[in-house]
Amino acid sequence: MITLIRVDDRLIHGQCIVRVLADFKIEKIVIVDDFTASNPVLKNVFLLATPPQAKSVIFSVEETKPNLLQFIENNENVLLLMRSPTVALELFKSHPQLKMELNIGPISYRPDTIKVTSYTYLSTEEIEAVNEIAERRVRVYFNQTIDQKIIEWNEVKNLLRSG
């Protein structure tokens, strides 16, 4: 089953391996990222970074789609991990049976982005993707690790509009 759907542009990293994998008892990490999937060096870096208690697979968005149902239906705790909300939107569209919750973690600053939380920067395109995901009745929330504050998309979206 998919235990957590998370957007985090650092993919597998300290916060992830120290807290998220343990908190959600993750057994399999499914990384959905075209760039990482097409780059053998990056692929090796993230496969190497996977701690022994979990297994990672790395797919492009298109490779993910035919495999996603299997991850939804199996008995393992799966972390579905991607770098951008635009990818999440694509998967929510192709698989309506996905868990209706999206966790957004750290996304780094880029020149065209707006600061949404202290650790999340979103581009206009990404904000639109999040809006569209929320309109599909998916609960979107910002959270780094479960012991830290949760910020709901509903709390920040109006601030973005007025700002």
Partner 1 sequence: MSSTNQNETLGILVCTHSTLAGGFKQAIEMLMGPQENFETIGLYEGDDIMDLSKKIIELIQSMQTHKNVIFTDLFGASPTNSAAMTLVDINASIVTGVNLPMLAEILTLRNQQLPFEDLLMDIVAKGKDNIRIITKEMILEG
Q: Which residues bind partner 1 (CB under 8 A)?
A: 9-10, 12-14, 17-18, 41-42, 44-46, 48-51, 106, 108-110, 118-119, 121
Residue closer to partner 1 by CB (options 17, 72) is 17
Helices (H), the chain: 14-15, 21-23, 34-38, 40-49, 61-73, 85-94, 124-135, 153-162
Shortest distance, position 119 Cβ to partner 1, whole Å: 5
Residue closer to partner 1 by CB (options 87, 138) is 87
Q: For residue 3, give the 3-state DSSP assignment.
A: strand
From the DSSP assignment, how many helices (H) and strands (E) are in the chain?
Answer: 8, 9
Shortest distance, position 115 Cβ to partner 1, whole Å: 8
- The secondary structure of residue 149, as a DSSP letter, is P
Residue closer to partner 1 by CB (options 118, 124) is 118
Shortest distance, position 107 Cβ to partner 1, whole Å: 9
Residue closer to partner 1 by CB (options 42, 160) is 42
Q: In Å, how far are 2, 120, 151 from 60, measured between CA atoms? A: 18, 23, 29
- The CB density around residue 148, as the number of other CB atoms within 10 Å, is 12
Shortest distance, position 28 Cβ to partner 1, whole Å: 16
